[in-house]
A and B are shown apart, each in its own frame.
Chain A
Amino acid sequence: MAAQQHEKYYVPASSPWPIVGAVALGLIAFGAGHTVIESKNQVDGWGTTVLFTGLAILVVMLFGWFRDQINESMSGLYSNQLSASYRQGMSWFIFSEVMFFAAFFGALFYARVIAVEWLGGASNNAMTNEVLWPHFEAMWPLTETPGGTTTQAMGWMGLPLYNTIILIVSSFTCHFAHVGLEKGNRTQLKVWLGITIVLGCIFLYLQGAEYVHAYQDLGLKLDSGVYGNTFYLLTGFHGMHVTLGTLMLIVMFFRVMKGHFTHDNHFAFQATSWYWHFVDVVWVCLFIFVYIL
């Protein structure tokens, strides 16, 4: 255990960034809430202003906090214990993200295996179908809802398949970059990292194109019933994570350019790469459960 290694403990100095972060999150929550309410009531208000102020403060906070951390890391002594704490912290954070996606996958399975089937009269719900939804037949993808909204299903061939390949490849390129870093081969690191970023961007672009296709050609919209709901929320949240991951990779790229990281001290890079792999795994699940099955 790490316990043996520390003769003396390290305690970080106090810092203004957490409270700045708290203010930022507070403003974001308050602003986002009001933005949503205002858009629903179609009135103008200050919600968005507050929201963007909060986001701006959050960005400032992230820069400030990370700058402090980087300075400490670059100038200070290396502590195995702290580094282990960060690693573990990051893994548990990723676990919490897994559970967040689990909620939506859960909704997908429930809707598909239970809700839609029951509406179609399965289990002890014969009367549900007979009395309330006599014209409804259970099916998946739910191209016609009990309420009568129709849509077309999104196939897995074409864009989604390309995207899957792109993301899986990017996981490998990210890994090659990591290997390069560990071997101290910085050219390998830069090249593979660069390629990973490009792949991430292509993925996002194609995802956008797919949404346009879904809206314009298939009539598959956010409000076209539970099939569309789970489709957009799952792919949407995944897309947000890819965006975040790509941004993190870009930051890493700049830091690599500035000469940061050594073969045995590169927690930030490792965290980013874990995150990227996690995003990739989520996509594979998505591809299987949302698109293929």
Chain B
Amino acid sequence: MRTRLIAALTAAMPFAASAQSQLNLTQGVTEISNRVYDLHMTILYICIVIGIVVFGAMFWSMIAHRKSRGHKPATFHENVKVEILWTVIPFLILIGMAIPATSTLIAMEDTSESDVTVLVTGSQWKWHYRYFEHDVEYFSLLATRPDQINNKLPKGTNYLLEVDRPLVIPTGKKVRFLITSDDVIHSWWVPDFAVKKDANPGFINEAWTKVDEPGIYRGQCAELCGKDHGYMPIVVIAKEPAEYEAWITAQETAQREAKEEEQRLLAMSMSEAELMELGERVYLGNCAACHQPNGQGIPGVFPSLVGTEMVTNDINGHIDIVLYGKQGTSMQAFGNMLTLREIAAVVTYERNAWGNNTGELIQAADVNARTKN
């Protein structure tokens, strides 16, 4: 505790100079973000100037017109002229601010004539990206290890700002984002682009960006969306157009092949060890956020999976709820997020872990049998 305190105090002294702490708004890497930054600085300076004038006058009277100095009070209590003046001047200042603000806003909202369109869907607590012009879609999940969060491992540089599969966009092109959500409201925010748009379930919001510099840009979900709102980062990689083209083609091929592979593997069954091993991995990555690593859930919010009727008896119900989720609850559909093998594995895992020793093995084919296509 003591050392911590000292550390905090030493951190406090030169905190303005501290290497990591950024104290001001980011300028960002787009034309818009720069305009926003300039606007921010302009208003900030205006406020500082007004502040100096107002507080200056206050401190002046506090010092000069003190009773202890023997200052005798004046008696004036009205002056229409100055009152009008200090109504009109702020008004004019405001007009001065409103003009650049208006033009920036209008530029920000113009999503027309875009080159690339990405559908961004938030859900508890991950992002899903679908490229409109290509057959590419995937989920993007927090990549920070739970052990780092629980202080069992040292935290990496990009602690909480790293994902397994970042969004990739081309530089120099106008990228349009269609933003929506599957459950609660999220908000897709990348400070470097000055893009923050709410993901409202059932509606689509539009935003756009045009990034000039290749690089890795990080952001976070910016609307309280439940328990793991703090664990829903966004990472965007901007690549040169040629590199981007190569990447998207590779993705397209890979995703197509994965689907074909999945069909082929249907006939193969996995061993118990394989299933449990894969199942645990999938479980910890996708389910433990709610149902907790020990399967106990959080009473009243997320149900326990230990010894329940469904998990011990009802195989079909169990597969269905993982495939299709349950409407009107935060139990979402994992059918298009996990492969058949993964679903088979996670179901097997749940039915055999934490004392649910049903001994049943579920194979990809069993899951496939429950899909509706």
Contacts and interface: CB of A to CB of B under 8 A. Distances in A.
Interface of A: 118-119, 124-125, 127-128, 131-133, 146
A291 B206 CA distance: 35
A124 B202 CA distance: 14
Interface string B80-123: 00000000000000000000000000000000000000010000
Interface string B200-213: 00111010000000
B3 to A, nearest CB: 47
A125 B204 contact: yes
B206 A124 contact: yes
A125 B203 contact: yes
23 contacts: A118-B203, A119-B202, A119-B203, A124-B206, A125-B203, A125-B204, A127-B178, A127-B204, A127-B206, A128-B180, A128-B202, A128-B203, A128-B204, A131-B119, A131-B178, A131-B180, A131-B204, A132-B180, A132-B202, A132-B203, A132-B204, A133-B202, A146-B202
Residue of A118, A128, A133, A146 most packed against chain B (CB within 10 A): A128
Contacts of A118: 203
7 closest A-B pairs by beta carbon, nearest first, are A127-B204, A128-B204, A128-B203, A127-B178, A131-B204, A132-B204, A132-B202
A119 B204 CA distance: 9
Interface string B326-350: 0000000000000000000000000
Interface of B: 119, 178, 180, 202-204, 206
Contacts of A124: 206
A119 B201 CA distance: 11
Q: Which applies to chain A's interface (DSSP): helix, strand, loop or mixed?
A: helix
Contacts of B202: 119, 128, 132-133, 146
A266 B340 CA distance: 77
Contacts of B203: 118-119, 125, 128, 132
Contacts of A132: 180, 202-204
A197 to B, nearest CB: 44
Contacts of A119: 202-203
Nearest to A130: B204
Contacts of A127: 178, 204, 206
Nearest to A126: B204
Contacts of B119: 131
A107 B329 CA distance: 24
A42 to B, nearest CB: 15
Contacts of B204: 125, 127-128, 131-132
Contacts of A128: 180, 202-204
B261 to A, nearest CB: 29
Contacts of B206: 124, 127
Given A127-B178, A127-B206, A133-B202, 10 more contacts: A118-B203, A119-B203, A125-B204, A127-B204, A128-B203, A131-B178, A131-B204, A132-B202, A132-B203, A146-B202
Nearest to A129: B204
A125 B202 CA distance: 11
A289 B129 CA distance: 42
A217 to B, nearest CB: 28
Residue of A118, A127, A146 most packed against chain B (CB within 10 A): A127
Contacts of B178: 127, 131
Nearest to B203: A128
Nearest to A133: B202
B185 to A, nearest CB: 15
A132 B203 CA distance: 7
A131 B119 CA distance: 10
Contacts of A146: 202
A132 B178 CA distance: 11
Nearest to B117: A127
A37 to B, nearest CB: 10
A128 B202 CA distance: 7
A119 B202 CA distance: 8
Nearest to A146: B202
B78 to A, nearest CB: 26
A156 B178 CA distance: 41
Nearest to B327: A147
A133 B119 CA distance: 15
A131 B178 CA distance: 10
Contacts of B180: 128, 131-132
B52 to A, nearest CB: 42
Nearest to B111: A124
A54 to B, nearest CB: 25
B278 to A, nearest CB: 33
Nearest to A118: B203
B301 to A, nearest CB: 13
A118 B180 CA distance: 14
Nearest to A128: B204
A14 B204 CA distance: 59
A224 to B, nearest CB: 16
A84 B178 CA distance: 59
A124 B178 CA distance: 12
Nearest to B180: A132
B208 to A, nearest CB: 12
B292 to A, nearest CB: 21
A271 B51 CA distance: 52
Residue of B178, B204, B206 most packed against chain A (CB within 10 A): B204
A146 B204 CA distance: 14
Nearest to B132: A131
A118 B203 CA distance: 8
A131 B204 CA distance: 8
A118 B119 CA distance: 18
A131 B180 CA distance: 10
A126 to B, nearest CB: 9
B335 to A, nearest CB: 18
Contacts of A133: 202
